[in-house]
């Protein structure tokens, strides 16, 4: 029905789905279209009309909230740009019994990306400098969200898009939450944590955000650490480090412990979790990290992905400082290696000279 329309709102034409199923989303459909005013290709994100029912009211509210947030963040560097705010239209179908079935569609327009970071990882698209540069853009985008009092809560490689010019931008704010003290929460309590559990922090899995929504910020830092691990290893940390018992125990804590007691319960077991699930070195999973920065990248990912949110690195200035140091080291590594070799040659010549000048015994 969407592809059959000659245009939408007089703004978009030549509408075609992305992929076989339109973006592979459970609650959304994504299309490519031409913006009539500019001739540019754009992405149209629709809420799946068959999911528009009371059972999925929360999902529809998330879609509407996402549209509002990307509109608020319009023009922000490193974040996908909103090209047209949310719009709705109706298609009426006649049934064999002469009844009319009204189908409501809601969509908004975004920049069209080339692919996502998951694909970039699978294709081994970036060398170490490009990897660190892309990760710096990811961190910068999350910093911009936090500066607007928004936590994403669903950071993962597939939610970062690689644009046609190679820039990396943050997208998919469906699980995002604004913590300005004014914007209402969509639901007062979660029966299940938001986001993808492979990238969710332990405190998010345990639903500690029910007691303190600001922990969504801490979860974003954790997810960035897990993403950094995956960028260099190609492995999803949550699949390789944690077992089903880990997820089951934390989710059970979130469901069974009464609000007001979750923090104390979690903090009583977090050290045991850290002991049972120590974060591995990047090279353990075949991570290709230049030796000159290996220790620094290991330390950075582990600091961000600390199991205990109380000791987790949550200072963007420190993150950027470490990334910049690593990039400078790599950019100057050839010169550094030449300096090291020259230093060794000089030391060898000094040793030979001393040996020649030494009197016979």
Backbone region of residue 241 per phi and psi (left: phi > 0; alpha: psi in -120 to 50; beta: other values):
alpha
User: Is it the case that residue 359 has pLDDT exceeding 70?
Assistant: no
Query: In terms of pLDDT, which residue wins out, 188 or 68?
Result: 68
Q: What is the CATH number of the domain that holds 287?
A: 1.10.510.10
**Residue where a domain terminates, one of 112, 139, 174:** 112
Q: Is the CB of residue 109 less than 8 Å from the CB of residue 12?
A: yes
Radius of gyration of the chain (CA): 25
Of the given ranges (95-104, 195-204, 270-279), which has the lowest mean pLDDT? 95-104
User: What is the average per-residue pLDDT within 186-214?
Assistant: 81
User: Is it the case that residue 198 has pLDDT exceeding 90?
Assistant: yes
User: Domain check: are 25 and 154 in the same one?
Assistant: no
User: Domain check: are 57 and 159 in the same one?
Assistant: no
User: What pLDDT was estimated at residue 56?
Assistant: 86
Query: In terms of pLDDT, which residue wins out, 22 or 86?
Result: 86
User: What is the average per-residue pLDDT within 254-259?
Assistant: 85
User: What pLDDT was estimated at residue 272?
Assistant: 94
Q: What is the CATH number of the domain that holds 75?
A: 3.30.200.20
User: What pLDDT was estimated at residue 94?
Assistant: 80
Spatial CA neighbour of 145 closest among 70, 92, 81: 70
* Alpha-carbon torsion, ordered 11, 17, 18, 20, to 10 deg: 180
User: Domain check: are 104 and 226 in the same one?
Assistant: no
User: What pLDDT was estimated at residue 63?
Assistant: 92
Q: Is the CB of residue 47 less than 8 Å from the CB of residue 53?
A: no
Q: Which tens digit of pLDDT belongs to each residue from 277-290?
A: 999 999 988 878 99
User: What is the average per-residue pLDDT within 328-339?
Assistant: 84
User: Domain check: are 135 and 209 in the same one?
Assistant: yes
User: Domain check: are 280 and 179 in the same one?
Assistant: yes
* Domain coverage including residue 84: 1-112
What's the total number of domains in the chain?
Answer: 2
User: What pLDDT was estimated at residue 347?
Assistant: 85
In whole angstroms, give the CA distance from residue 111 to residue 33.
Answer: 11
Q: Which tokens belong to 56?
A: 């999925």
User: What pLDDT was estimated at residue 157?
Assistant: 97
Burial annotation 156-189 (CB, 10 A radius, 16+ → b, else e): bbbbbbbeeeeebbbbbbbbbbbbeeeeeeeeee
Give SS3 for 279: coil
Residue 311's pLDDT band (cuts 50, 70, 90): very high
User: Is it the case that residue 191 has pLDDT exceeding 60?
Assistant: no
**Residue where a domain terminates, one of 85, 112, 139:** 112
Q: Which tokens belong to 141?
A: 């985008």
Calculate the alpha carbon distances from 71 to 27, 74, 79 in Å.
Answer: 20, 5, 11
Spatial CA neighbour of 172 closest among 150, 192, 146, 154: 154
Question: What ranges in 9-168 are assigned the alpha helix state H?
Answer: 57-72, 117-122, 128-147
Query: In terms of pLDDT, which residue wins out, 103 or 189?
Result: 103
User: Domain check: are 108 and 230 in the same one?
Assistant: no
User: Is it the case that residue 328 has pLDDT exceeding 60?
Assistant: yes
User: What pLDDT was estimated at residue 209?
Assistant: 85
**Residue where a domain terminates, one of 112, 142, 167:** 112
User: Domain check: are 128 and 64 in the same one?
Assistant: no
User: Domain check: are 145 and 84 in the same one?
Assistant: no
User: Domain check: are 192 and 238 in the same one?
Assistant: yes
User: DSSP state, 278?
Assistant: P
């Amino acid at each position: 029905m969407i592809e059959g329309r000659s245009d939408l709102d007089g703004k978009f034409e030549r509408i075609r789905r992305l992929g076989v199923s339109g973006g592979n989303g459970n609650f959304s459909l994504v299309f490519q279209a031409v913006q009539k005013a500019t001739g540019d290709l754009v992405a149209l994100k629709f809420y799946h009309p068959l999911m528009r029912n009371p059972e999925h009211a929360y999902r529809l509210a998330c879609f509407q909230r996402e549209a509002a947030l990307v509109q608020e963040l319009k023009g922000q560097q490193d974040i996908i740009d909103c090209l047209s705010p949310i719009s709705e239209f109706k298609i009426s179908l006649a049934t064999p019994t002469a009844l009319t079935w009204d189908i409501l569609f809601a969509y908004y327009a975004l920049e069209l990306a080339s692919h996502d970071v998951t694909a970039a990882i699978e294709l081994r698209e970036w060398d170490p400098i490009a990897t660190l540069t892309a990760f710096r853009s990811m961190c910068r985008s999350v910093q911009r969200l936090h500066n607007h009092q928004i936590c994403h809560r669903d950071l993962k490689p597939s939610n970062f898009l690689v644009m046609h010019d190679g820039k990396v931008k943050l997208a998919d704010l469906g699980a995002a939450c604004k913590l300005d003290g004014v914007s209402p929460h969509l639901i007062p309590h979660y029966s299940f944590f938001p986001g993808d559990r492979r990238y969710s922090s332990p405190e998010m899995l345990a639903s500690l955000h029910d007691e303190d929504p600001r922990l969504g910020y801490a979860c974003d830092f954790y997810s960035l650490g897990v993403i950094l691990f995956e960028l260099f290893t190609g492995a999803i940390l949550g699949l390789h480090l944690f077992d089903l018992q880990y997820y089951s125990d934390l989710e059970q804590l979130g469901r069974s412990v009464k609000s007001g007691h979750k923090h104390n319960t979690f903090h009583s077991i977090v050290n045991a979790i850290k002991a049972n699930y120590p974060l591995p070195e990047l090279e353990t999973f075949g991570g290709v990290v230049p030796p000159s920065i290996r220790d620094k990248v290991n330390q950075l990912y582990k600091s961000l992905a600390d199991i205990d949110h109380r000791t987790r690195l949550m200072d963007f200035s420190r993150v950027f400082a470490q990334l910049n140091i690593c990039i400078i080291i790599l950019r100057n590594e050839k010169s550094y290696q030449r300096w090291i070799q020259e230093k060794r040659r000089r030391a060898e010549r000094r040793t030979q000279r001393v040996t020649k000048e030494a009197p016979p015994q």
